[in-house]
Every structure is written in structure tokens, then in C-alpha cells.
Amino acid sequence: MRTDFLSTIKTPADLKKIPIADLPKLAAEIRHAICEQVKKSGGHLASNLGVVDLTIALHYVFDFSYDRMLFDVGHQCYTHKLLTGRQHLLGKLRQRGGMSGFPSPDESPFDLFSVGHAGTAISTAVGMARGDTLHGEAYEPDTNPTGRRVVAFVGDAAIVNGVAMEGLNNAGTLKRQFLIVLNDNNMSIANPQGAIADYFDHLRVGPTYRSMKKAAKNVMGKLPGGSMLEDMTHRMTEMMKDAIFEDSWFEHFGLLSIGPMDGHDLPSLIEMLIEVRDVDRPIILHVHTVKGRGFEYAEQNATTFHSSKPFVIKNTCVEMQPSGRSFTTAFADSLCELMQNDDMIVAATAAMPDGTGIDKAIEQFPNRVWDTGICESHAMDMLAGMAKTGCKPFFAVYSTFLQRAFDQAFQEVALQGLPVRLCLDRAGVVGGDGTVHHGFCDIALLRVFPNAVIMAAIDEGSLKAAMKFMTDYNDGLSALRYPRDLIKTLEGDCPKFVLGKAHQLRKTATPKLAILGYGTTTLDALVAADRVDADAIDVYDARFAKPVDGELIEQLLSNSIPIITVEDHSIIGGFGAAILEEAARRNLDTTYITTLGLPDRWIGHGSRKEQLAEAGIDATGIAAIASRILSSSEIEAPFVVTK
């Protein structure tokens, strides 16, 4: 009897050759392969283990080399990748040359979008469904039975996102096959939040889930096109009729709701997917799964194993790869200290209490800190409302997810002059999560707002000083960015932040070059200065991307001292661009300014160290540019340094 099924699968066509009775063995192999790899490299473990069976069933029934499958968020795609010809990439998961942790069209045509943000799958799937219909390629049971089918794969936490709601509203208007698979594991990254989460809780423990016996006829009559749907019931099997959920919340969107059903019962999943595959109207299949399924440690603590560090198991205990103190931990401690001393400070996050460190504040101040779920736009507006009442709100959010609340930052915060304080974790390049999560454009987005203040921390002292400054700044929006990295503490006391003023870290007697670092690249600038000529290079912690230190810029350029700006942000619209604009505004010679930052192209997954080196903003890259400038026998304007 065969015991190794996974190695025989090169494409999903090979999967279909395996008898259904043997698929649980394949699922066990896949779970083992994922666990063993995440132990070594880290990765999204619990979310992937939970959908192994469901992913196998989907590929067993559909042909996604032709049909469409759209992932929501995408961090649950490992099984999908292993079934679509990418087993050879698993050994370098989230590393250079290996498997991306998210869907990636560059890896395979089975991945339709690069996706790492929640709420998008239904809308993009509606778009593909409409496009296929216009092109005459859509599945139609009578006129085009070999046409493309469309499946959107969505989690219960992601479906409450505003974009997902807009997608649902439009999905119900489709007049064709359209399947939404709702993966309901009662979790996002942390516990789900809100009234809809409570609804799912009630549904999972109610008689519907226990028996899955509901009459279909009354439901059909309530939905748009009821008489047509009543006719369609004649083509349905008793299994499908019994699984229809009467009075489902989704019914009001014009969606026929099936389930909930057990997401780990492979034969039943396959049977139900065969039933719903050919229904020519929008359907939502509600599937209940267990996050972390098959690995008891992940089942017991899905939040810890959502995005896990490398780990080992010793004496039945899990030991995570040791690491030092992070910026996230330092932020959490600083926030709690500020909240202890000021009752007006409140805080929120959007489904990232553990990732942003705000879980510590939630524990200490449960009545002043909220997790809104995957609702960045709502969180921003909620905090704007609290600011209007006199509270001092802090919003802990990944830089990449701030983009989802840009409109609210504009309309309800900046335009109103309200002091909402943005704490931007994962700013800059983020390592293994790659392109979908790089925080590369927050400065460019926020710098357009009048009275906005944008800062960056380089160490623990500057992070605490910046947060204290934010607490006291009440003239508008403020933001502090810091990376997904370990945090250092420079020697000596950190002076307080003064609006728009840089802090000099290295002073020489006769400087021939000045490096203005923004954020942790400043530390690399210090190393670079030592390597090149410690007696010729001044180094500044710029601190502010808005407002920049115009007096310092004028002082340096008026004395013909060239400037290098360095930042972990896009070269377009970032700190360096702000320096150039300020110099131009003062009629200074901008040809003495060289800007270094993230290039105008995508930087793939790998280590953060590798990504900084690729961008030329590590110590080696900075030193190379500094050497080229200083090696000129005579620096004359104009000069241009290009990487």
C-alpha cells in the first residue's frame, strides 16, 4: 500500500488520481511537511494547517488551471502551492529563491493575484466572473458547460472587512455560477471581533450546525428570482437541500447559503463541492475548520503559531528561536507607561494585538484599548471620534495596512485637525513576508497633510522620546515609524524631540560630508562613516520627515558640504524627496544632495538584511556612496551619484 502520496503530485491532475479514501493520508503528509519546514524557517503555520483538507477538496473537484480561485489574504496558501508544482520551493520558504508565503503570479499561473491584504477576494472574483462572461468563457450549464467557474476563498475574520462587504453586495447580483467558500475557524490572527463574529459563534453551536437539516423551499421563495430557484430545487440532491441554511445573514445579499459543514471531513467536502460546482447562481459554502489542525500546540495557541518563528519541541514543550528585544516590544512597554500616567490616552489596533504589541495594553487597560478586527478604516474613524471628545488616541497598525485607511486619515483626521497618533510597525522592508507587506510608502502618503508630523525611531530611547512628543502634539495627525527588527539602545541619554529638528550623532572638526539618516538606516550610516573616514563625515538622526530641519540643510549646503540622505522607504516621495524640496524652497543647490532609499521596483521576500543590501541602504551601500563622493579630488556642483 502506498504511503507517500505527496511526492507523486506534480499538478492537481495527479491529485485526482488518488482515491478519496486515501486523501486523509495525503492531508497528514502535507501537514507534516508544512510543520517540519516552518520549524526551520518560520512562517504562517496555524492558518495553513487549518485549510489542508479544504484546499485538497477544492483542487479535487475544480480545475484551477482553467477555473478561477481567488485567495483572501493568502497566508493560507501553502497546501495550494504544494499541489500546484511547487514542492521543490518549500525548503526555502520565505527565503530568497524559495517559496513566497503568499500567492504570487511570478511563481505560478495557479496564483492569480499577489495578495496579502484582507477583504479583496470577493471583489476580484466578481471582476473575473464578469470578465469571463463578457469574453464568452464563463460556465453556463446549458450553453457553455466547459466554461470557467469562479471560487473565492475567504476567512470569517476577513469577510467583515469593508471591501468584502462591498464585494458581497455585488456578488449577489451575478446571474451565473459563483462560489464563495467561507473558511470559518473562529479566528483571524487573534480572536475575531464584532457582531458578525458573535453571529458565527451562535451559528456554530446552534441546531443548524448540529443537524444541517433545513427546508429549502421557504428560503428559495425569499431570495431574488424565487420562482426560478424553486425550479432549480428539482435538480438539487437531498444532501444539498438539507444543507441550505434558512434565514442566513448572507441571504440578504442574494446569496444561497450552504452549511456550516465540517471542513475536515474530506469525503463530505468533495461531495458537497461537486453538488455546488454546477449551480448557476451565487452560493456561499460555510465551512467550519480548526486553525492549527493536526498540530496540538498550534490548535491550543493559534495566535502564537499564526506567523511563527522557527521552533523546536523539547520534552513536549515548544521553544521558539531566541531573539532579542524588538521595536514592537519596546513600543508596547512605552505605550503602557504613557497610559499609566495619562488617563486620556486610548489605543486601538485592527486585528493585530499580538503583532503590534498592543495586547499588553489591552490586558492592562481593557476599557481604554480596542481590537476592531480587520477594519482599519473603521479604527481610524473611531479614533477620530474619540479625539473629538478630548481623548488622546494611538493607532497601532502595520505600515502596509495604514494604506487601507488613507481616506479616513485624510477626511476625518487631518482635515479636521484632530490629533490621532499613528504608530507604524513593520515600516520599511519586512523580510519574509515580502512585497505584499513592505511598508514603503507611508511617508509619501502622510506628508501631503497640512500640520502632519512624521517621525522615525532609531533606538529605544528615541522611540520613547518620540511617543512622548506625540502625546503632547495636538495640532494634527502625527506618525511614528519603526521596523520589524531588534531594537538597540545608543549610549547616553536621548534628548527630547523638538519639532522639525535633527539630532547630531557624530560631529567632526572639519566635515567634508554629512549623512542625514532617517530611522534605523542612521545606525548603518554611523557604521559606514567609521569605515570610510570617521574624521570627515558628520552623521545626523534626522528624526522628522515632516517638517524637515531646513536650517540644518541651509547650513550644510551654504558651506558646500554634500549631503547623503538615507531611508528605509521609497525614494519617491520620501524623506530624501522632502530634503530636496526644502533645499529648493530655500534656493539652495540641490546637486549637492544624494538620496538613498528603496528603489522604484519591487523587492522580493528574503531576510531584511538581504533586502536592505539589495536597496543599497545598508552600511556597505552607504559607505560605497560616501567613498565615491569623498574620493573626488575636488567636489564641484553639479555632481550626481547614482547607484
Q: Write phi, then psi, for 493 (nearest 5 degrees).
A: -75, 145
Please give the order of strands across the beta sheet that includes 68-71: 68-71, 150-155, 178-184, 282-288, 256-262
Looking at residue 478, its pLDDT comes to 98
Q: pLDDT-derived band of residue 241, with 50, 70 and 90 as boundaries?
A: low
Residue 631 pLDDT exceeds 50: yes
Looking at residue 249, its pLDDT comes to 72
**Half-sphere exposure at residue 492, Cβ-oriented, CA atoms within 13 angstroms:** 5
Q: Which residues contact 342 (CB under 8 A, 6 or more apart)?
A: 392, 471
Q: pLDDT-derived band of residue 196, with 50, 70 and 90 as boundaries?
A: low
- Percent of the chain past pLDDT 90, that is, above it, reads 77
Residue 12 pLDDT exceeds 50: yes
In this prediction the pTM is 0.87
Q: pLDDT-derived band of residue 246, with 50, 70 and 90 as boundaries?
A: low
Looking at residue 544, its pLDDT comes to 98
- Minimum mean pLDDT among 89-98, 177-186, 294-303, 572-581: which range? 294-303
**567, 575 Cβ separation under 8 angstroms:** yes
Q: pLDDT-derived band of residue 235, with 50, 70 and 90 as boundaries?
A: very low
Looking at residue 604, its pLDDT comes to 95
Looking at residue 243, its pLDDT comes to 62
Looking at residue 251, its pLDDT comes to 80
Instruction: Please identify every residue annotated as catalytic.
Output: 291, 376, 404
Q: pLDDT-derived band of residue 450, with 50, 70 and 90 as boundaries?
A: very high
**Half-sphere exposure at residue 456, Cβ-oriented, CA atoms within 13 angstroms:** 35
Q: pLDDT-derived band of residue 556, with 50, 70 and 90 as boundaries?
A: very high
Domains, the chain, with CATH or none: 64-75+101-292 (3.40.50.970), 327-481 (3.40.50.970), 504-630 (3.40.50.920)
pLDDT digits (tens, 9 = 90+) for 499-552: 999 999 999 999 999 999 999 999 999 999 999 999 999 999 999 999 999 999
- Sign for the pseudo-dihedral over CA of 537, 543, 548, 551: negative
Which residue is it, cell 514542492? 87
Mean pLDDT rounded to a whole number for the chain = 89
DSSP states of 137-204 as a string?
A: -B-BTTTBTTSB-EEEEEETTGGGSHHHHHHHHHHTT--S-EEEEEEE-S-SSSS--SHHHHHHHHHH
Residue 229 pLDDT exceeds 50: no
Q: pLDDT-derived band of residue 162, with 50, 70 and 90 as boundaries?
A: confident
- Minimum mean pLDDT among 139-143, 194-198, 460-464, 469-473: which range? 194-198
Residue 61 pLDDT exceeds 80: yes
Looking at residue 492, its pLDDT comes to 85
Distance in angstroms (rounded) separating the CA atoms of residues 506 and 480:
23
Residue 223 pLDDT exceeds 60: no
Please give the average per-residue pLDDT across 204-222, as a whole number. 40
pLDDT digits (tens, 9 = 90+) for 600-624: 999 999 999 999 999 999 999 999 9
